[in-house]
Structure formats: C-alpha cells, structure tokens
Amino acid sequence: MSEMTQLSGHAHSPLDEVIALSRSLRLKYLREQVPEILLTAKAQRWEPAEVIRTLLIAEVTGRSRSGTEARRKRSHLPTGKTFAVFDEEISRIARPTVSGLKNLEWVGRAENLVVCGPSGTGKSHFLEAIGHLAIESGKHVMWFSVETLGALVRAHRIDDTIAKALAPLAKVDLVIVDDLGMLPMTNAASEGLYYLIDQAYERRSVAVSSNLHPSAFDQIMHKNLATALVDRLLHHAHVVITEGESIRLTEATTGKGVVPLDR
C-alpha cells in the first residue's frame, strides 16, 4: 500500500502529506527538516518559492554530506588528519608547493605525487590531508599501506585473482600508498605495489610517501621490479622532497607532544 493510499483513508494535515510524499520520493533530508522549515517560513512569511528553495537545499546538502562520509569510509584513510590541523608554519613542504597541490588539478590529469624525505617530516599527514580534501571535493580515494598490498597479493596469489582484487581502482580518482622505505619490502608487497602502479598508470593518480627517493627503490625490492615500477610512477609525477629534523621530535623536545600534567 502506497503512502498516499494509506493517508487517503484517514484525516491528515498538509504536513503529513508532505512527509509521506517525501518518504515515497526518498527525500530523506527534506523530510527530516520540513517541520522546522515550515514553521520558520510561517513565522517569517516566506514566499512559496523561498520555501521550496530552502527544502530543496536541505535535501541537496544532506545528500552531499552523506556522499562525502560514504566516500571517506570507503577510502580507509587512517586517522582523520586534515589541512585544518596541518601547520604550514612548521611544514617541511614549501607553501607554494602545498598551495599548488591543494588545487587537485593534478588529480584531474591523472598525474602522480611522490613525497619523500626523512621520517617525521610530515609526509603521511600531508598525503592524508590531500586525501580528505579530494573526498570533500567529490573525488573517490583509496588508502593503502605496504602491508595491506602484501596481504592482498598473498590472499589472491593462489587462484591468480590479483587483477580482480584491484578492480575497484577503476572507480577511484586518487590512490595513496603510505610509508615506503622504512623496511625492505616482502616480495608480495613489492608485487602488489607494482600491480597497483601499473593498473593506475595514466588512468588515475597515485600519491606515495617514502623515506627513499624512488631512484633508490631498488634498495627495498628487486631491481628489475623497481625499475619498471619507478618508470611508470615518475612518468607523470610531481616529486616533493622534505628536509630537516623530525617535526615529531621537535614537538617532543619542546614539550608540545603531550598535554602538561599540571592542567
């Protein structure tokens, strides 16, 4: 039985009908806000067009917010570090570079990003913030660690379905791989990274953070694999090199790493 059929046999107000119709049309966010909006409209004597406009804005805004949260959840971004807490004053990445990368035009062109430098210089934070910014601008993002790629290859090597496992990349605008170079990579992780770079090549953007410059990737994986991987990774890439002391160590030695105990 439809919403309107149910209403037709009972006394009901126009507001009840609006709620029923919005449920039938799956206008979830409009339905949630319609009582309050109509009260405001009555009190402020809005024109009918203004009421309709406000109701539609409520629905569009709600759907946009829901879509953003769905994309954020699917991305597997780890900690919620955004540009809202990214301190450009202490960043090891030059401000013009940060500004240029934040416009995300390079993602639209399926170009890559490599951020390399010593541990603690803000590489992971920067890439995660880029990921959140891309999600908020309507793009689809996926975050991988080296360990995740290795596990993916091991799980699918038996039946040779690694290509199928990476198929979701076809719907992604930006793939982020964090923290290369800390330790030698397993064969499975090396293969996984190669498969990922190869699948994404000239189709979607890959952003990588590493303690090593890509020219030294043969230190953590087989040379032939490193050569083929780096060739694809750097062909259309922006390379950012971070320098200086660890931000984490600097904060720790200046007492900024924890909340003082006497508060």
The answer on 186 and 108 residing in a single domain is yes
Residue 1 confidence (pLDDT): 47
Among 56-65, 76-85, 152-161, 187-196, the least confident range: 152-161
The answer on 135 and 58 residing in a single domain is no
Residue 250 confidence (pLDDT): 57
Q: Where are the beta strands (DSSP E) in the chain?
A: 112-116, 141-145, 174-180, 205-210, 237-241
Mean pLDDT of 62-74: 92
Q: Could you report the per-residue pLDDT of 169-187, keeping only the tens digit for each?
A: 778 999 999 888 777 788 8
The answer on 236 and 214 residing in a single domain is yes
- Is 162 within a domain? yes
The more confidently predicted of residues 30 and 157 is 30
- Is 35 within a domain? yes
On the question of pLDDT at 89 being above 60, the answer is: yes
Q: Taking the mean position of all CA atoms in its chain, how far away is CA 62?
A: 19
On the question of pLDDT at 3 being above 60, the answer is: no
The answer on 154 and 44 residing in a single domain is no
Rounded to the nearest integer, the mean pLDDT of the chain is 85
- Is 231 within a domain? yes
Mean pLDDT of 199-222: 92
The answer on 171 and 90 residing in a single domain is yes
On the question of pLDDT at 82 being above 80, the answer is: yes
The answer on 198 and 158 residing in a single domain is yes
C-alpha 198/C-alpha 213 separation (Å) is 19
C-alpha 108/C-alpha 73 separation (Å) is 22
Residue-number span of the structural domain to which 147 is assigned? 83-252
DSSP 139-164: --EEEEEHHHHHHHHHHHHTTT-HHH
Residue 246 confidence (pLDDT): 62
Domain boundary among 31, 52, 75: 75
- Is 263 within a domain? no
- Is 156 within a domain? yes
Nearest CA among 173, 80, 175 for reference residue 128: 80
Residue 171 confidence (pLDDT): 82
Percent of the chain with pLDDT over 70: 87
The answer on 108 and 58 residing in a single domain is no
Among 36-40, 192-196, 224-228, 241-245, the least confident range: 241-245
Answer whether 181's CB lies under 8 Å from 220's CB: yes
- Is 135 within a domain? yes
SS3 category, 20: helix
Q: Could you report the per-residue pLDDT of 120-168, keeping only the tens digit for each?
A: 788 889 999 999 999 999 999 999 888 888 888 888 876 677 777 777 7
The answer on 88 and 71 residing in a single domain is no
- Is 1 within a domain? no
The answer on 49 and 97 residing in a single domain is no
The answer on 141 and 23 residing in a single domain is no
Residue 262 confidence (pLDDT): 58
The more confidently predicted of residues 244 and 221 is 221
Domain boundary among 24, 41, 75: 75
Cα atoms in the 13 Å half-sphere on the side-chain side of 236: 16
- Is 260 within a domain? no
The answer on 145 and 56 residing in a single domain is no
Helices 28-44 and 14-24: crossing angle, nearest 10°? 150
Domain boundary among 75, 92, 117: 75
Q: Could you report the per-residue pLDDT of 90-117, keeping only the tens digit for each?
A: 788 888 999 999 999 999 999 999 999 9
CATH number, domain with residue 132: 3.40.50.300
The answer on 107 and 70 residing in a single domain is no
On the question of pLDDT at 85 being above 90, the answer is: no
Residue 226 confidence (pLDDT): 93
Number of structural domains found in the chain: 2
